[in-house]
Amino acid sequence: MTKLALVTGGNKGIGFETVRQLAGQHIKVLLGARNEEEGKNAEKVLRGESLDVTFIKLDISNSQDIENAKTYIENEFGQLDILINNAAVFLDSAWFGNNVESVPMKTLRDTFDINYFGTVELTQALLPLVKKSDAGRIVNISSVSGSFGAHLDESHWLYQLKPYAYSASKTALNQFTVFLANALKETNIKVNAASPGWVKTSIGSDQAPLTTEEGAKTGVALALLDNNGPTGTFSQSGEVLPW
């Protein structure tokens, strides 16, 4: 039976490339996007490449959208094999410097609404469907910016980059990864966090060294883990990252 995957924020950047790479593995992919026009355009492009991709409207900060997605997947497919939590926002004013003393509360709340609360709410809603899969995979697209280890290491390339809202939201996402992997350790479901690296996207900017194709590879690899693969890990390109 064909596997079913859902990728949030699948209309552009790393999400779009993740959809493409998964569909290229003969997986049916639901492309979640909050912007209907952009989502349908992305679907059209990928279908033009003979890929089995279907757009679904999904703003993960909208509880009704989450409920609609759950009902649709339940009624149409009965289960979900792969969930890639990719949707994210970067609302800090800049990557460089440390804005912890001045970041507006609205920036923090709006960032956490998508990067953390929406991701947790969606995952909780879809978990019963993932549990019906023979080998469920949940991948949280995180960032090395969420790593305490990186931010405490003065020799790390990230050390000077301390956008607080974004970084804190990814740290919280990492904690969710650890706890969910623990809760599901007696099941066939594997839960892992992926750092795509510094990628040329609207968040990463044109200065980034990696293409979206390269950035998507870590998440896709974790989505395709076999039964011997790890759970509860944080990695980039097969290299374990410090929490």
CB 197 within 8 A of CB 219: no
170 catalytic? Reply is yes
Give the residue from 32, 2, 73, 15 showing the smallest Cα distance to 204: 15
Which helix (H) or strand (E) segment is 73 a member of?
Answer: helix 63-76
Q: What is the dihedral of CA 222, 223, 227, 231, to 10 degrees?
A: 50
Nearest to residue 203, comparing CAs of 136, 141, 154, 153?
141
| Annotated catalytic residue 162 | no
**CB of 56 within 8 A of CB of 31?**
yes
Query: Could you give phi then psi for residue 80, rounded to 5 degrees?
Result: -135, 130
Cβ atoms < 10 Å from Cβ of 4:
22
The identity of residue 165, as a single letter, is: A
Catalytic residue (choose from 70, 116, 164, 170): 170
Active-site residue (options: 3, 70, 116, 166): 166
**Catalytically active residues, by annotation:** 166, 170
